[in-house]
Amino acid sequence: MMKKIILAIPKGRIMQELEPLLSRIGIIPESEFFNEKSRKLTFKTNFSNLEIVKIRSFDVASFVKFGGADIGICGKDVIEEFSSSEFYSILDLKIGKCRLSLAKEKNCEKNFLTLENIRVATKYTKISQEYFAKNGIQAEIIKLNGSIEIAPKLKLCDFIIDLVSSGQTLQENNMIEVEKILDITSYLIANRTSLKTKNFEMTELIKMFDES
């Protein structure tokens, strides 16, 4: 009897790239999975022991860390922000390419390297703190959960640290990238204990992703 595996998948834009990946691998979730209007959170697949949960990308790391999910897909940004010895990065899936960057408004003449104290809005407080500490910069980090690009406009801060993909959001909000902090792609991450207790099932699943 195969042991049950729960795979955590992030909601949002990444789904466009995940759909063809899952189909290449041969994982077919129940049809509700592709219905964006559906409020369902757990989904059966064509593998009787494999279930998929759809959650926010930041939460994938938490679910895999605490063993609520055995395996998950999340960006390098999330892995770095929530780094833990309870989960391992197993495989670079080479999808969801983007970057985490420091940005400011086009007309802002401030230089973050020479300023005494800067204020930065971001979802990524840990990565940001580490980045500024490494560069010897005094920074006050303001934690926001989304729509970060509005913060400089409303004078909350001069700089933001956020994801840049096409660059459209920065452009439409009159902002420019100052410096890239991290190159991002999505990874398969696995719970440390599940790798031991469900070794056969986990290895088989990882192999499927690896060979796709």
Number of residues near ligand PRP (by CB under 6 A):
13
Give me the least distance between CB of 41 and ligand PRP, in Å please: 19
3-class DSSP state for residue 212? coil
Taking CB under 6 A as the criterion, the residue among 2, 3, 4, 12 binding ligand PRP is 12
Residue 176 near ligand PRP by CB under 6 A: no
Residues 6 or more apart whose Cβ sits within 8 Å of residue 181: 99, 100, 101, 102, 127, 131, 161
Give me the least distance between CB of 136 and ligand PRP, in Å please: 27
Residue 147 near ligand PRP by CB under 6 A: yes
The residue among 36 and 211 lying less far from ligand PRP, judged by its C-beta, is 36
The residue among 5 and 178 lying less far from ligand PRP, judged by its C-beta, is 178
CA dist 122 and 147 (Å) reads 10
**What amino acid is encoded at 152 in this protein?**
P
Taking CB under 6 A as the criterion, the residue among 15, 83, 167, 208 binding ligand PRP is 167
Taking CB under 6 A as the criterion, the residue among 169, 206, 208, 212 binding ligand PRP is 169
Taking CB under 6 A as the criterion, the residue among 85, 114, 117, 168 binding ligand PRP is 168
Residue 165 near ligand PRP by CB under 6 A: yes
DSSP 31: G
Pick the closest to residue 30 from 1, 10, 54 (CA basis): 54
Residue 162 near ligand PRP by CB under 6 A: yes
Residue 67 near ligand PRP by CB under 6 A: no
What DSSP line would sit under 163-205, residue for residue?
EESSSHHHHHTTEEEEEEEEEE-EEEEEEHHHHHHTHHHHHHH
CA dist 25 and 212 (Å) reads 6
Choices 3-11, 101-109, 143-151, 175-183 (CB under 6 A): range interacting with ligand PRP: 143-151
The answer to whether residues 175 and 103 touch, using CB atoms and an 8 Å cutoff, is: yes
| Tokens encoding 131 | 């980045």
Residue 153 near ligand PRP by CB under 6 A: no
Positions touching ligand PRP (CB under 6 A) are 12, 146-149, 162-169
